[in-house]
Amino acid sequence: MKKPLWWIKLTNFEYWSMWFFYLPTLPYGLYLALRSGSMAYFTSVNPAVPLSGMKGQPKQDILKLLDEKYLPKSLYCKYDSEFEFVKSEVQKKEIDFPLIIKPEVGERGKGVEKINSFEKLQDYLNEYTKENKSDFIIQEFLKEPIELGVLYYRLPNNLKSKVKKEFRLRNFKDSAITSIVQKEFLTVRGDGKKTLAQLIEDSDRARFQKKRLEKEFAQEWSVTIPTNEEVVLEHIGNHCRGTKFLDGNNLITKENLAAFDEIMNPLENYYYGRFDIKVPSVKDFKQGKGIKIMEVNGVASEPAHIYDPKTPILKAYKDIFWHMKIIQVISKQNKKDGTAYASFRGVFKMISDEFKKTFF
């Protein structure tokens, strides 16, 4: 007998709402705020972007600073761009289908779509970008099969020599990769007997996405899937769209840390964030090779490896607390160096607006 979805959601914290899951971290966050002298202490971590990338960070602001060898072909457009202009620019950039389109400012996969034709691209522009007045980015769809989220920090230069003495932290390095999540896309495998609809019913993770999938796979819904044939139901690596997050911290090596140190060189005043990347293979990644960066996120980045279904909840909170401490250490030094904290009023408004969008 299949477990009801409400029970799966209740007993697996990876499905809990962000607000509920992070509630136990509030006391520690208040303690760090008191130590820092501001409730908005985290807003000085990345002076290069507004609110340190807490919310509303334009993706291109950071991507344009990176070496092109790490980036997919990309195109930035205003929300009111005419379709014929966008089509012409896509052709000039030689961005082939399928391609990825996403809002310039977005979060948790909202508005991110894989597009297979100019007809579908026109539909997206008419239905999403103009309705939401959202500037957007078009990127080539990277064929590399391995997608990872890599959380990285580095210390401000004048903090490196005194960090252990002042903050009494062990194993606090000048720079480090602290979390790697390996993404397993939502997939079902045929047995030669069941239809796609039945295979989705057999997958707990896919059942959470059933309403959306039924619309997207309308033509294949009642088709019997041949034995051992895999059907990838979602190509976007976001947890809220059914992607399974796996703990990939065993992939951290001196070589890929050195690669990210190099990647970060041109990013002045940026000290903490998660890189969403694709690589040809795990072997390449361990050697620091073949890295393609799709997106860079700021201070709101989570150590997403904690959402591995095998991670005990106490271990998850322990890892979150450690990352909260990293943020506080960096932000306090940047404050000493002249980066003011944002006003708490502005941060509170941002958080309350998000709360209202989520629950009302």
CA atoms of 96 and 82, how far apart (whole Å): 19
**Residue-range definition of the domain harbouring residue 99:** 73-140
Which position has the higher pLDDT, 105 or 358?
105
Percent share of the chain, pLDDT over 70: 89
DSSP class of residue 152 equals E
Tell me: do 355 and 283 sit in the same domain: yes
pLDDT at 342: 83
161: pLDDT strictly greater than 60: no
pLDDT at 43: 92
Confidence band for 251, pLDDT divided at 50, 70 and 90: very high
Tell me: do 159 and 28 sit in the same domain: yes
Lowest mean pLDDT among 51-65, 148-162, 209-223: 51-65
357: pLDDT strictly greater than 60: no
Percent share of the chain, pLDDT over 90: 65
Tell me: do 112 and 133 sit in the same domain: yes
Mean pLDDT of 335-351: 79
Tell me: do 341 and 274 sit in the same domain: yes
Mean pLDDT of 331-359: 74
The whole model's pTM is what?
0.89
Look at residues 118, 140, 162 and tell me which one is the last residue of a structural domain.
140
pLDDT at 186: 96
151: pLDDT strictly greater than 80: yes
Tell me: do 98 and 219 sit in the same domain: no
Determine which helix (DSSP H) or strand (DSSP E) holds 165, and give its type and residue range: helix 163-167
190-208, pLDDT tens digit by residue? Answer: 999 999 999 999 999 999 9
Lowest mean pLDDT among 109-118, 164-173, 289-298, 326-335: 164-173
Tell me: do 132 and 204 sit in the same domain: no
User: Could you please report the per-residue DSSP string of 220-233?
Assistant: TTTPBPPTT-EEE-
CB-based burial, 295-328: b 16+ in 10 Å, e otherwise: bbbbbbbbbbbbbbeebeeeebbebbeebbebbb
The residue to which tokens 């890599």 are assigned: 150
Average pLDDT, the chain: 89
Number of domains in the chain: 3
